[in-house]
Amino acid sequence: MDVLTAARLQMEVSLGFHMIFAALGIGMPLLMLIAEWRWLRTGQAHYRALAQKWAKATALTFAVGAVSGTALSFELGLLWPRFMALAGGVLGPAFALEGYAFFIEAIFLGLYLYGWDRLTPRAHWWAGVPIAVSGLASGVLVVAANAWMQAPADFEAVNGRLTQVDPLSVFSTPAWFHLALHSSLSCYIATGFAVAGVYALGMLRGRRDAYHRSGLDIALLVGGIAAVLQPLSGDLSARRIAEYQPAKLAAMEAHYETSTHVPLLIGGIPDGAGGVKWALRIPSGLSLLVGHDPATEITGLNAFPEDERPPVGITHVAFQVMVGCGVVMAALAIWFAWRRRRGDVSGARLLLRAIVLASPLGYIALEAGWIVTEVGRQPWVIYGVMRTADGVTPVSDVPYTLFGFTVLYLALGTALAWLLLRLTDQRYMPADETTYETPEGAA
Amino acid sequence: MTAEVLVAGLGLIALLAYAVLGGADFGGGIWDLFASGARRREQRDAIAQAMGPVWEANHVWLIFVIVIIFSAFPLAYQALSIALFVPFHFVLLGIILRGAAFVFRAYSPQSARALGRPSAATPAGGAPGPDDVRAGGASPARPERARPWGVIFGVASTITPVLLGMCLGAVSAGTLRLGEPGEVRIEGAAPWLTPVAWAIGALALALCAYLAAVFLANETGGELREDFRRRALLSGTAVVALSVLALPLVRSEAPHLWDGLVGGRATPVLAVGIIAALLSGWFLRGRRYRAARVAAVTQIVALLTGWAVAQYPYLIYPDLTLAGAAAPRGVLVFVLWSTPAGMLLLLPSLWYLFRVFKGEHLSVRESAHPPD
Give yes or no for a contact between A101 and A137, defined as CB atoms under 8 angstroms apart: yes
Q: What are phi and psi of B221, to 5 degrees?
A: -145, 170
Q: Where are the alpha helices (DSSP H) in A151-209?
A: 176-204
ipTM of the complex: 0.85
B96 touches chain A (CB under 8 A): yes
| Cβ-based contacts of A432 with chain B (< 8 Å) | 125, 127
pLDDT at B15 over 90: yes
Confidence label for A175 from pLDDT (cuts 50, 70 and 90)? confident
Task: Give the pLDDT score at B276.
Answer: 93
Percent of chain B with pLDDT over 90: 40
pLDDT at B78 over 80: yes
Nearest chain A residue to B361 by CA distance is: A118
Confidence label for B366 from pLDDT (cuts 50, 70 and 90)? very low
Closest CA of chain A from B335, distance in Å: 7
User: Which residues, including other chains, have CB under 8 Å from residue B248's CB and lie 6 or more apart?
Assistant: none
3-state secondary structure A249-262: HHHHCCCCCCECCC
**Lowest mean pLDDT: which of A83-97, A391-405, B131-145?**
B131-145
Q: Which of residues 20-59 of B touch A (CB under 8 A)?
A: 52-54, 56-57, 59
* Distance from chain centroid for Cα A60: 18
Contact between chains at A415 and B67 (C-beta distance less than 8 A)? no
Please state the rounded mean pLDDT for residues A19-33: 93
- Chain segment A385-435, per-residue pLDDT in tens: 888 988 888 888 899 999 999 999 999 999 888 888 887 765 445 444 444
Give yes or no for a contact between B209 and B354, defined as CB atoms under 8 angstroms apart: no
Please state, in angstroms and rounded to a whole number, the distance separating the CA atoms of residues A128 and A131.
Answer: 5
Which is more confident, B265 or B137?
B265
Q: Which of residues 413-432 of A touch B (CB under 8 A)?
A: 415-416, 419, 422-423, 427-432
Task: Give the pLDDT score at B142.
Answer: 42
- Chain segment B301-343, per-residue pLDDT in tens: 999 999 999 888 888 888 888 888 888 888 888 889 888 888 8
Task: Give the pLDDT score at A425.
Answer: 65
DSSP assignment letter at A310: P
Percent of chain B with pLDDT over 70: 85
pLDDT at B84 over 60: yes
pLDDT at A35 over 90: yes
Please state, in angstroms and rounded to a whole number, the distance separating the CA atoms of residues A330 and A326.
Answer: 6
User: Which residues, including other chains, have CB under 8 Å from residue A315's CB and lie 6 or more apart?
Assistant: A248, A251, A252, A371, A372, A375, A376
Please give the C-alpha separations between residue A17 and each of A10, A321, A411, A437, in angstroms, as whole numbers. 10, 19, 12, 38
Query: Which member of A110, A168, A394 has the closest CB to residue B82?
Result: A394
- Chain segment B182-211, per-residue pLDDT in tens: 678 777 777 888 888 899 999 999 999 999
Query: Which member of A85, A109, A422 has the closest CB to residue B182?
Result: A85
**Mean pLDDT taken over chain B:** 83
Contact between chains at A70 and B62 (C-beta distance less than 8 A)? yes
Give yes or no for a contact between A239 and A282, defined as CB atoms under 8 angstroms apart: no
Contact between chains at A66 and B353 (C-beta distance less than 8 A)? no
Confidence label for A154 from pLDDT (cuts 50, 70 and 90)? confident
**Chain A interface, best mutation among B67, B90, B183, B357, by max A CB count within 10 A:** B67
Count other Cβ atoms within 10 Å, centred on residue B251: 14
User: Which residues, including other chains, have CB under 8 Å from residue A62's CB and lie 6 or more apart?
Assistant: A21, A24, A25, A105, A106, A109, B56
Contact between chains at A165 and B350 (C-beta distance less than 8 A)? no
Q: Which of residues 253-292 of B touch A (CB under 8 A)?
A: none
Percent of chain A with pLDDT over 70: 95
* Distance from chain centroid for Cα B244: 21
How buried is residue A325: exposed, middle or buried, by Cβ count under 10 Å (0-12/13-18/19+)?
buried
Task: Give the pLDDT score at A443.
Answer: 37
- Which range, A282-286, B71-75, B161-165, has the best average confidence (pLDDT)? B161-165
Please state, in angstroms and rounded to a whole number, the distance separating the CA atoms of residues B270 and A146.
Answer: 43
| Cβ-based contacts of A107 with chain B (< 8 Å) | 57, 346, 349-350, 352-353
| Cβ-based contacts of B127 with chain A (< 8 Å) | 430-433
**Lowest mean pLDDT: which of A283-297, B64-78, B99-113?**
B99-113
How buried is residue B115: exposed, middle or buried, by Cβ count under 10 Å (0-12/13-18/19+)?
buried
**Mean pLDDT taken over chain A:** 87
Please state, in angstroms and rounded to a whole number, the distance separating the CA atoms of residues A49 and A57.
Answer: 12
**Lowest mean pLDDT: which of A124-133, A148-157, B150-159?**
A148-157
Please state, in angstroms and rounded to a whole number, the distance separating the CA atoms of residues B89 and B70.
Answer: 17
Count other Cβ atoms within 10 Å, centred on residue A5: 13
Please state the rounded mean pLDDT for residues A214-228: 94
Contact between chains at A430 and B130 (C-beta distance less than 8 A)? yes
Count other Cβ atoms within 10 Å, centred on residue A431: 10
Nearest chain A residue to B346 by CA distance is: A104
Over the Cα atoms of chain A, what is R_g? 23
**Lowest mean pLDDT: which of A113-127, A156-170, B47-61?**
A156-170
Contact between chains at A99 and B118 (C-beta distance less than 8 A)? no
Closest CA of chain B from A119, distance in Å: 8
pLDDT at A279 over 50: yes
**Lowest mean pLDDT: which of A28-37, A314-323, A424-433?**
A424-433
H or E segment and range at residue A169: none
